[in-house]
Amino acid sequence: MPPPPTTSSHRPALQRLRDLQTLTSRLTPLVFLFGLLLAAKLAAVGRGYRRLLTDERFQAIHDSLHDALTGYPIGLCCPNV
């Protein structure tokens, strides 16, 4: 069945819809790519933050088991005390 004839008043609206569809079909992949890049960046920031927390945890454990002045393990720096 052929489409109904369009009047001249519908043509501008139809053209705007075609233009919008063209714009949408061009921008959708770009927006998707931007979202993927943003997700990758956030993952990288999260990995860096986790690495920093792990390093700080190991340093805190080391500091709690060693004398701050000499660096010797606690209990070995002053055996007679």
Over the chain (81 residues), the average pLDDT of each successive run of 10 is 69 91 95 98 97 96 87 69 52
Residue 49 lies in a domain: yes
pLDDT score at 46: 97
Domain hosting residue 72, numbered range: 37-81
Rounded Cα distance between 77 and 1, Å, is 96
Q: Dihedral of CA 63/67/69/72: which sign? A: negative
Residue 6 lies in a domain: no
Rounded Cα distance between 10 and 68, Å, is 82
b/e sequence 55-78, b meaning 16+ C-beta within 10 Å? eeeeeeeeeeeeeeeeeeeeeeee
pTM to 2 decimals?
Answer: 0.59
Residue 46 lies in a domain: yes
Q: How many domains does the chain have?
A: 1
Amino acid sitting at position 54: T
